[in-house]
Chains A and B, each alone.
Chain A
Amino acid sequence: DVKVTQSSRYLVKRTGEKVFLECVQDMDHENMFWYRQDPGLGLRLIYFSYDVKMKEKGDIPEGYSVSREKKERFSLILESASTNQTSMYLCASSLGRAGEIETQYFGPGTRLLVL
């Protein structure tokens, strides 16, 4: 079974703080993704990575950065948290190999509140 874990289920931070959200997958997947989920908007892609040290912007990258130093770990960084970044953050991973059926496996999510 694929397992995607996220470092925290709930976080409360203050405006201006630097925030790290960690995601780890144990299935040697190539691709990893960070989404945020807000009521009525569904999931929106923030950043994704298709290899170690590689990253690509998604649809809403502003105010975020990412780091992928090891294949199994993908970190989302809020350089200076703002109240409009209060949201549910979901990490996912996928195999990313040609010829294979591609699906994404999701972590349990981190609910972040920025005060």
Chain B
Amino acid sequence: KQEVTQIPAALSVPEGENLVLNCSFTDSAIYNLQWFRQDPGKGLTSLLLIQSSQREQTSGRLNASLDKSSGRSTLYIAASQPGDSATYLCAVMIMEYGNKLVFGAGTILRVKS
């Protein structure tokens, strides 16, 4: 059964710092991996999607990498801002009927001004 783990569970950094969030998964048979952002009490917003054949994706200050063979992904946030404060969730889409997502528990990020 696919399991997704995110480390750290929480992170507090000063504004301007570059940071890395980590995600690991147990089964490399995935369609894709996504990083989501969730603000308190709100739904999820997709940040980056990496197809299983890709190694990385970039959007603005965000860069996500995927190493399928080792079951790892990282989300790199450059020059962090207080507006980046949120919960970041990693999810893998598994090769199973229904294109289901399996989520990690998330990393709560706080960027201090």
Residues of A that sit less than 8 Å from B by CB: 4, 31, 33, 40-45, 48, 50, 56, 58, 90, 92, 94, 96, 101-109, 111
Which residues from B are CB-within-8-Å of A108?
Answer: 42-43
Task: Jot down 16 A-B pairs with beta carbons below 8 A, ordered by A.
Answer: A33-B101, A42-B104, A42-B105, A43-B89, A43-B91, A44-B103, A45-B100, A56-B97, A90-B44, A94-B99, A102-B99, A103-B32, A105-B46, A106-B44, A108-B42, A109-B43
Interface positions of B from 32 to 58, Cβ below 8 Å from A? 32, 34, 36, 41-46, 49, 51
B49 and A43 form a contact (CB under 8 A): no
Other 19 A-B pairs with CB < 8 A, given A4-B43, A40-B9, A108-B42: A41-B105, A43-B89, A43-B91, A45-B101, A56-B98, A58-B100, A90-B43, A92-B44, A96-B99, A101-B49, A101-B51, A102-B32, A102-B99, A104-B46, A104-B101, A106-B36, A107-B43, A108-B43, A109-B42
For B, the interface residue count at a CB cutoff of 8 angstroms equals: 26
Which residues from A are CB-within-8-Å of B77?
Answer: none
Residues of B that sit less than 8 Å from A by CB: 4, 9, 31-32, 34, 36, 41-46, 49, 51, 89, 91, 93, 97-101, 103-106
Question: What distance in Å separates the Cβ of A66 from its nearest Cβ neighbour in chain B?
Answer: 13
Q: Is the interface of B mostly helix, strand, loop or mixed?
A: strand
Question: What distance in Å separates the Cβ of B53 from its nearest Cβ neighbour in chain A?
Answer: 11
Question: What distance in Å separates the Cβ of A98 from its nearest Cβ neighbour in chain B?
Answer: 10
- Bound CA–CA A81/B9 (angstroms): 31
Which residues from B are CB-within-8-Å of A50?
Answer: 98
- Choice from B32, B93, B98 contacting A48 with Cβ under 8 Å: B98
